[in-house]
Structure 1
Amino acid sequence: MTGWQWLVVAVGAVVLASLIGVVLRPVRVPEGRSVGEITRRVEQERGDMDTALWPMGFPHDPPDYAMGVGEAQMTMQRHRACRVGECPRKTAAWRVLVEAGRIKPDAGRQR
């Protein structure tokens, strides 16, 4: 046999041994973790998130101070995915920029 033939035989043996190992390996079922238990835990965590009080200054809350033009511009960039009128912080930033003349609101369209 040539060197290439020995290489093919060796690779084939490794592949065959790997397949046998995968097929014969016992399936490990974690103890004490049923689907029902995991589902209950996930639902409880979701409920805890819904009832939790958000910390002061949550990113979409309106600011409790007068926002400057620079901060309003950064806020508009940070809240790019938000809509004016739906996100209180972006709405406040929008108003500051309109008052400063940086944005000319289109009558039928807001960002």
Structure 2
Amino acid sequence: MPAQSIALLFVAAAIALLWLAVRYLLPWLLDRDTAVPEGAVHSVDILERVAAEGSLRTDSWQLEPSHRAPSDPYTPEQAHIAMQQHRDCGTDLCAAKHSAFWTLVDAGHAVPDARVER
């Protein structure tokens, strides 16, 4: 009988502690995100900035010189070399590869996917 009383006392104490945690500690934990440190940048702002910086790469004046489109159109031979040099680039972000690809298409050396727009 005394063992059951001790067990009941421990269960009652555990329930009381759990109630106190839910009553006082949980609301405090949930309200902590409202206190932002001074000078902190929210993660949404960081993600928007990264997306904006990624979209800036499409402007040729902001690209590294090696990724800019040539001032004179490529010849098909130059376009082949440019495609090899920029094999890791995408045609949507690299103006040099974009220009080389469409030079090859115009020369009949490459066939774009039917979904691709110039």
State the TM-score, normalized to the length of structure 1. Answer: 0.45
Bigger CA radius of gyration: 2
Query: Which structure is higher in helix share?
Result: 2
